Chains A and B, each alone.
Chain A
Amino acid sequence: MNQKQDSSPLILMVEPDDETRPLLKYNLKTQGYRVIAALDEEDAIERMMGKFHCPDLILINQFGQSIEETVDVGRRICTISGLPKDTPIVILAERYGADLEGKDVQVGDREYVSYPEDGQQLMDLLQKICPV
Chain B
Amino acid sequence: MTAQNRLLARMSPALYEKLAPNLKLVSLPQGKILHHPGEVIEYLYFPIDCMLSITITMKDGNTAETGIVGNRDVLGINAFMGGQETTQTEYIVQIAGKALRIEARLLKEEFDCNKEMRDVMLRYTQALIAHISQTTACNGLHALEQRLARWLLEVQDRIESDELRLTQEFIGDMLGVRRAGVTQAAQKLQAEGLIEYSRGKVKIIDHQGLEASACECFRTVRDEFDRLLGLGGDRKKFL
CB-CB under 8 A from B185, the residues of chain A are: 23
Contact in complex: A19, B177 (CB < 8 Å):
yes
B180 touches A27 (CB 8 A): no
Verify if A5 is at the interface (C-beta below 8 Å from B). Answer: no
Given A17-B180, A20-B180, A23-B181, do A119 and B144 touch, yes or no (CB 8 Å)? Answer: no
B152-185 contacts to A, CB under 8 A, are 168, 177-181, 183-185
Say yes or no for A116: interface residue by CB 8 A criterion.
yes
B126 part of interface (Cβ distance < 8 Å) = no
A19 to B146, CA, bound (A): 12
Check if A118 sits within 8 Å of B181, measured CB to CB. Answer: no
Contact indicator A17/B197 (Cβ below 8 Å): no
Tell whether, in the assembled complex, residue B179 and residue A119 are in contact, meaning their CB atoms are under 8 Å apart: no
* A1 CB contacts on chain B under 8 angstroms: 191
For B105, list chain A residues within 8 Å (CB). none
Q: Which of chain A's residues have a CB closer than 8 A to the CB of B197?
A: 118-119
Pick from B184, B188, B191, B197 the residue with the most CB of A within 10 Å: B184
A119 partner, pick from B177, B187, B199, beta carbons under 8 A: B187
Interface residues of A in 23-39 (CB under 8 A from B): 23-24, 26-27, 30
Given contacts A117-B199, A118-B186, contact A23 B179 (CB under 8 A): no
B178 touches A119 (CB 8 A): no
Any chain A CB within 8 A of the CB of B200? yes
Q: Which of chain A's residues have a CB closer than 8 A to the CB of B179?
A: 94-95
User: Are B199 and A23 in contact, with the CB atoms below 8 A?
Assistant: no
Instruction: List, sorted by A's number, 7 A–B pairs whose CB atoms are closer than 8 Å.
Output: A17-B181, A23-B188, A30-B188, A95-B179, A119-B183, A119-B184, A119-B197
Chain B positions near chain A (C-beta within 8 angstroms): 143-145, 168, 177-181, 183-188, 190-191, 197-200
Nearest 8 pairs of A and B residues by beta carbon:
A119-B187, A23-B184, A20-B181, A19-B144, A24-B184, A119-B183, A19-B181, A20-B180
